[in-house]
Amino acid sequence: MARILLSAYACEPGRGSEPAVGWNWAIELARQGHEVTVMTRAANRQAIAEEMSRRDVGFIYYDLPLWVQRLRSLPGGKRVYYVLWQWCAARMIRQRFRRLPFDLVQHVTYVSVRYPSFMGSLGIPFYFGPVSGGETVPVRLRRGCSAGERFRERLRDLSNRLVAFDPLMRRTFRRATRILVTPDTLRLLPRDIRHKATQTLAIGLPSGAPEQRRPDVRSTQLRLLYVGRLLEWKGVDIALRAVALARRQFPNLSLTILGEGPARTRLERLSRELNLGGSVHWAGWVPHSIVARYYQNSDTFLFPSLRDSGGMVVLEALAQGLPVLCTSLGGPGLIVNRSCGRAVVTTRRDREELARELGRAIVEIAADPDLLSLLSHGARLRARQYSFEQLVLSIHPSSIPSAVESPA
């Protein structure tokens, strides 16, 4: 087994998104017998300390001075602070250990191919990833977005095109022994380093994730659930239009929306225009520990995101026996197949056409309780194929590479 230094800027128990990725990597590596030391922010110390009495993982905490942390409140300041933290954290490791007590170092958060890591300067094998970021909203599906959202998507496109030319990213890629990327992200890497790359999702279900045995549903009161931030690229407007179309045949179906975000006002206005009334329940933000209750009180998960690289909530929903209706884009499009839901094809479709297809998928399930039961069973089986245990095993074989490129 290996002595692994895990670089996890975001790492907290009981959270979703990036903090969950960092935490689950640490716990699963340790569970499989590796000796794990996590390099993370000092701001995460309190949340981690409450869990560590039950965990065999070491932590090194580091943050920049408070006056530097104030950068994070400025426009673009979070990225600047992140890059400074990464550089200083690697420097601190070199100064702290005269001889590094690690076999390799792996960067896991942030999970973005646009954000550099300096851990390759430690002189030991360096794994960068899994990272994502190459997912993009198709041009036709940007129509109907606000002008501000279309502008942000164009900026993101430009940022992605510059990845191969960014000197900090090229330095990161050059020093990496392995680069782990989502399938849509591979195209962003410089051609001369793609031989180092392995394609993989960046997410998985943690060991011991609970499953919910669901009773058969024998009514037309299909309960749909969405969990996530309310952002335009999440496609919640498409979900609302799909529900409005499906209600023409099944007026009793409902949609619960968990999450907050800048698009909420716009979405609530659309809900009123579609006369959805009491069919849509806006639950707002709830703690991650409470989300499981909503999974258990729902029948189908609706997640029409247009560029999610992973979609951890999709795996959580599948594990709870919820069939998933999503788009064919990004991570959800790879995870969901016809055994556990429907991934609606987006090719040559605009938002209205996508809403119609999604509405048909809702009607298909609402009209056939046997199909819902079959998909519910398939959802649990599918979720088991995407575990952190399997993800870690696929990346960390029993032997440790002995060669590493000399730092440039």
- Same domain flag for 254 and 132: no
What is the tens place of the pLDDT at every residue in 359-390? 999 999 999 999 999 999 999 999 999 988 88
- pLDDT, mean of residues 231-246: 96
- pLDDT-based confidence at residue 402 (cuts at 50, 70, 90): very low
What is the tens place of the pLDDT at every residue in 76-135? 888 999 999 999 999 999 999 989 999 999 999 999 999 999 999 999 999 999 999 999
Supply the Cα-derived Rg of the chain in whole angstroms. Answer: 22
Inter-residue contact 77 to 45 (CB < 8 Å): no
CA distances from 132 to 169, 321, 333 (A): 13, 27, 15
- Same domain flag for 291 and 356: yes
| Domain span holding position 302 | 223-383
14 token code pair: 């009981």
3-state SS class at 359? helix
- Same domain flag for 308 and 375: yes
- Same domain flag for 163 and 236: no
What's phi and psi for 280, nearest 5 deg? -115, 125
Number of independent structural domains in the chain: 2
What is the tens place of the pLDDT at every residue in 284-341? 999 888 898 999 999 999 999 999 887 889 999 999 999 999 999 999 999 999 999 9
Q: Identify which has the larger pLDDT, 37 or 277.
A: 37
- Same domain flag for 256 and 302: yes
Cis status of the peptide bond prior to 115, with omega within 30 of 0: no
What is the tens place of the pLDDT at every residue in 33-91? 999 999 999 999 988 887 776 568 899 999 999 888 888 888 888 899 999 999 999 99
pLDDT of residue 408: 40
What is the tens place of the pLDDT at every residue in 196-224? 999 998 888 887 665 555 555 545 589 99
Inter-residue contact 253 to 243 (CB < 8 Å): yes
Q: Is 258 part of any domain? A: yes
Q: Is 116 part of any domain? A: yes
* Separation of alpha carbons 380 and 388, rounded Å: 15
Q: Which amino acid is at 298?
A: S
- Same domain flag for 308 and 183: no
- pLDDT-based confidence at residue 403 (cuts at 50, 70, 90): very low
DSSP 166-205: -HHHHHHHHH-SEEEE-GGGGGGS-GGGGGGEEE--S--B
- Same domain flag for 60 and 195: yes
- Same domain flag for 70 and 177: yes
Q: Is 213 part of any domain? A: no
| CATH of residue 353 | 3.40.50.2000
The whole-model pTM stands at: 0.87
- Same domain flag for 185 and 230: no
CA distances from 155 to 99, 110, 143, 163 (A): 43, 19, 16, 13
Q: Is 329 part of any domain? A: yes
Q: Is 217 part of any domain? A: no
- Same domain flag for 76 and 139: yes
pLDDT of residue 202: 85
- Same domain flag for 274 and 198: no
- Same domain flag for 126 and 272: no
3-state SS class at 341? strand
